[in-house]
């Protein structure tokens, strides 16, 4: 039986009008100190928000969401790496460090707490319940790369693997691609989420062709690299054939490439965990 750990959580609210107090939940942050875990999940889309509060600055809102989630993930990586943090005892302490309490539109809700066996899974469940439950499934926005990454990230966090990954650019004379999640042990391992949750067969295949072209352009870079595509499939089942074609196109990459569907998240995590363990075991022997 998995050991239970205590956690605290708080919901991030977008308060459109402080006079009326109307708000929409846009994120959740969770902190489990005994498990050395801290992270947050924030909305990557704004469709429901713009329907409730017309006139919202979409790009500014998405930028804020990315910033808040990234800051929590940085703190989580520090915790997993045993690095010292400022004295904090609850998620509210962390939340105030990242987004201080003021009269802005983004506000932290009163804190909640509980006990769980898997903090990352609990964060996902809270995000679905607190933020996504009111989405209209018939008009739900198409999933982005951030949504696909969030799905895979939970498993990587549970194995404490994210601490080894960092942004890295691969460049040739006339082109360059920056990967946000890379790790090196002789060869650079690049994780890349790709959402194929698009509206038409042509758009799905075109996206795969664009990736094929981009990677072909840097394939001869001095630094050798290996790709791990984490792919999100279309929600529309009628686009399944186009999705299969897209995977076939990605399989033509001129560098070593492994493709993982969302159902293969644990398979990918196990593979990376073995790679990391083998690397550090070899280092200890030497």
pLDDT tens, position by position, 16-32: 776 667 788 889 999 99
Q: How confident is the model at residue 178 (pLDDT cuts 50, 70, 90)?
A: very high
Question: CATH top-level class for 162-285?
Answer: alpha beta
The Cα 138–Cα 125 span in angstroms is: 21
The mean per-residue pLDDT over the stretch 130-143 comes to: 66
- Please say if the pLDDT value at position 96 is more than 50: yes
Question: What is the percent of the chain where pLDDT is above 70?
Answer: 87
- Please say if the pLDDT value at position 285 is more than 60: no
pLDDT tens, position by position, 231-251: 999 988 889 999 999 999 999
Distances (CA, A) of 61 to 147, 215, 236, 270: 16, 31, 27, 35
- Please say if the pLDDT value at position 284 is more than 90: no
Given this model, what pLDDT does residue 85 score? Answer: 63
The Cα 181–Cα 163 span in angstroms is: 10
pTM: 0.64
- Every domain of the chain with CATH number 3.40.1350 lies at 162-285
Mean pLDDT of all residues belonging to the chain:
86
What are 5's strand-pairing partners? 116
- Please say if the pLDDT value at position 190 is more than 90: yes
Given this model, what pLDDT does residue 18 score? Answer: 67
Percent helix, percent strand, percent coil in the chain, to nearest 5: 45, 25, 30
| pLDDT top residue among 153 and 175 | 175
Residues 6+ apart with CB under 8 A from 100: none
Q: Apex CA 196: angle with CA 40 and CA 203, to 5°?
A: 140
Q: What is the dihedral of CA 84, 86, 92, 97, to 10 degrees?
A: -120
């Amino acid at each position: 039986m998995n050991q239970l750990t205590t956690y605290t959580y708080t919901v991030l609210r977008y308060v459109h009008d402080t006079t009326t107090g109307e708000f929409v939940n846009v994120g959740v942050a969770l902190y489990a100190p005994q498990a050395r875990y801290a992270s947050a999940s924030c909305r990557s889309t704004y469709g429901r928000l713009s329907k409730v509060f017309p006139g919202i600055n979409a790009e500014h809102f998405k930028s804020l969401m990315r910033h808040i989630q990234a800051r929590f993930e940085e703190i989580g990586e520090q915790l997993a790496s045993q690095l010292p943090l400022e004295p904090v005892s609850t998620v509210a302490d962390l939340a105030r460090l990242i987004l201080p309490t003021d009269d802005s539109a983004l506000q932290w809700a009163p804190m909640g707490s509980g006990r769980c066996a898997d903090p990352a899974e609990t964060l996902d469940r809270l995000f679905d319940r607190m933020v996504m439950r009111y989405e209209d499934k018939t008009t739900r926005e198409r999933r982005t790369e951030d949504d696909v990454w969030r799905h895979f990230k939970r498993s990587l966090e549970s194995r404490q693997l994210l601490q080894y990954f960092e942004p890295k650019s691969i460049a040739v004379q006339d082109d360059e691609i920056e990967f946000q999640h890379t790790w090196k042990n002789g060869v650079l391992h690049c994780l890349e989420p790709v959402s194929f949750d698009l509206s038409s067969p042509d758009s799905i295949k075109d996206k795969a062709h664009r990736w094929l072209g981009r990677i072909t352009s840097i394939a001869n870079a001095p630094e050798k690299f290996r790709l791990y595509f984490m792919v999100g499939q279309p929600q529309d089942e009628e686009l399944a054939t186009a999705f299969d074609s897209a995977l076939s196109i990605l399989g033509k990459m001129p560098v070593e490439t492994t493709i993982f569907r969302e159902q293969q998240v644990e398979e990918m995590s196990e593979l990376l965990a073995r790679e990391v363990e083998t690397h550090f075991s070899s280092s200890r022997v030497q």
